[in-house]
Amino acid sequence: MLLRLTALPALAALCLVPAGCAAEGKGARDTVILATTTSVRDCGLLDEWIPMFQERYPYSVKVVAVGSGEALQMGREGECDVMLVHSPEEEERMVEEGFAVNRRPVMRNDFLIVGPAEDPAGVRAAAGPAEAVRKIASAGAGFVSRGDGSGTHVKELSLWDEAGISPSGPWYLESGKGMADTLRVASQKRAYTLTDRGTFLTMRGELELAVLYGGGESLYNLYHVMEVNPERWPDVNREGARAFSDFVTGEEAQDFLRGFGVEEYGEPLFFPLAPQAGAPRRFREGALAAGRRRGGASWPAVAGGQGPRTSMNGLRREEGTGNG
C-alpha cells in the first residue's frame, strides 16, 4: 500500500504556463513552447539560459516545467515545440515512433541518495545503489518517492527493480510532486529520497538532509533536447524549436554550464555534453551505453560519509504534477 502526499505548497511562477494552456499561441512564430523538468527550473538554469536565448533570437519562450513523462506526453500530443528532458529510454522510444526529431545531448549531472545524517538504514556503507535502497527497505526507514512518472521517478524504480524489491508499506511515501517539494517532504519526515544533484545543491541551506550515496556511471543523469516532429504536428514552431535546440547545444550555453553553480556551491551543477561544445565523447550517452567508459572531470563517489554534502532551495512557478 502506498501513501500519497497531496498537500504541498505551490512554487511561484517564472515565465511558465499551465500544461493545459500550452497549446495557446503554439503556432506563433515569435513564441517557443518548451516542455521541461522541474529540476532544470528549480536549480535556476532557465533563469539564465532563457534571457540569453531571447537576446540572440527573435523568439520569446514559454516554459512548462513538469515531470519528464508529462513533458514527453506534451510532445506526443503536439502541445509544445521543444523538450528538454532526462528520461533516455522514453526519449528514444518517442524518436523511434516518429513523435520527436533531432534529439541531441545537452548536459549531465548525477543522482544522489539523500537522507537524515544519522543514516538509520546504513546507506553510507552500501556497495552500490541497489544495495543502498535494499538497506532502506530492510530497515523500514522512510522513503519519499516522486511517484510522478518523472525521469527521477523512473530511475528510482529501476533501483528497486535491480534490488529485487517492490516497495510498499507505511515507510514508502509518494509525493506526486516535483523534486523541490519532494526534498522538503523528505527533510520534514527525516526520510530518504533520490534526487538530482543540481536541485539538491541549490537547496542546501533549507534541508536537514545529507548526501549518503552517490557517484559512478550507474547514477548519471543525462539531459537531451529534442524537437516535436513537424510532420506529425504541422502547427509547431519548427524554426523556433530548432533555434532553441541549437542554442542549448551551442558553444555559449555549453560554456556557461562549466561555471554554473561553481561560485556558490563549489562545483558545477551540470557538465556539458554537446559534441560541438567539446564534451568528451566518452561522457556522452552513446559511449556510456556502448562501453560504460569513464573519463573527464566527475564528482567523487560518496561512501562512508565522505564526499560533498549538499542541499537546495526551491524556485519559482507552480509545480504542476511534475518532475525534475
* Confidence at residue 289, expressed as pLDDT on a 0 to 100 scale: 46
* Confidence at residue 106, expressed as pLDDT on a 0 to 100 scale: 98
Which of 82, 57, 61, 63 lies closest to 72, judged by CA?
82
Is 3.40.190.10 the CATH classification of the domain at 19-109+222-291? yes
In the numeric block, which cell numbers belong to residue 72? 514527453
pLDDT in tens, 170-195: 999 999 998 999 999 999 999 999 99
DSSP string, 220-271: EEEEEEEEE-TTT-TTS-HHHHHHHHHHHTSHHHHHHHHHTTHHHHSS-S-E
Query: Domain map of the chain by residue range?
Result: 19-109+222-291, 111-218
In the numeric block, which cell numbers belong to residue 169? 508499506
227: exposed, middle or buried (C-beta count within 10 Å: 0-12, 13-18, 19+)?
buried
Render each residue's pLDDT in the chain as its tens digit; 324 residues: 444 443 333 333 334 443 334 444 444 469 999 999 988 998 999 999 999 999 999 999 999 999 889 999 999 999 999 999 999 999 999 999 999 999 999 999 999 999 999 999 999 999 999 999 999 999 999 999 999 888 899 999 999 999 999 999 999 999 999 899 999 999 999 999 999 999 999 998 999 999 999 988 899 999 999 999 999 999 999 999 999 999 999 999 999 999 999 999 999 999 999 985 544 444 444 433 432 332 333 334 443 333 332 322 222 222 333 334
CATH class held by domain 111-218:
alpha beta
In the numeric block, which cell numbers belong to residue 285? 550517452
- Measured between alpha carbons, how far is 156 from 319 in angstroms, rounded to an integer? 20
Residue 45 neighbours by CB under 8 Å, 6+ apart: 198, 260, 269, 270
- Measured between alpha carbons, how far is 279 from 282 in angstroms, rounded to an integer? 8
pLDDT in tens, 89-120: 999 999 999 999 999 999 999 999 999 999 99
SS3 300: coil
- Measured between alpha carbons, how far is 248 from 232 in angstroms, rounded to an integer? 24
Q: Give the length of the chain.
A: 324
- Measured between alpha carbons, how far is 165 from 25 in angstroms, rounded to an integer? 45
- Measured between alpha carbons, how far is 39 from 203 in angstroms, rounded to an integer? 11
* Confidence at residue 215, expressed as pLDDT on a 0 to 100 scale: 85
- 157: part of which helix (H) or strand (E)? helix 151-163
* Confidence at residue 24, expressed as pLDDT on a 0 to 100 scale: 44
* Confidence at residue 204, expressed as pLDDT on a 0 to 100 scale: 84
In the numeric block, which cell numbers belong to residue 242? 530548432
- 91: part of which helix (H) or strand (E)? helix 88-96
Please check whether the two domains, 19-109+222-291 and 111-218, share a CATH topology: yes
- Measured between alpha carbons, how far is 309 from 307 in angstroms, rounded to an integer? 7
- Measured between alpha carbons, how far is 262 from 151 in angstroms, rounded to an integer? 25
Residue type at position 280: P
Q: Are 290 and 130 in contact (CB under 8 A)?
A: no
Q: What are phi and psi of 66, to 5 degrees?
A: -140, -165
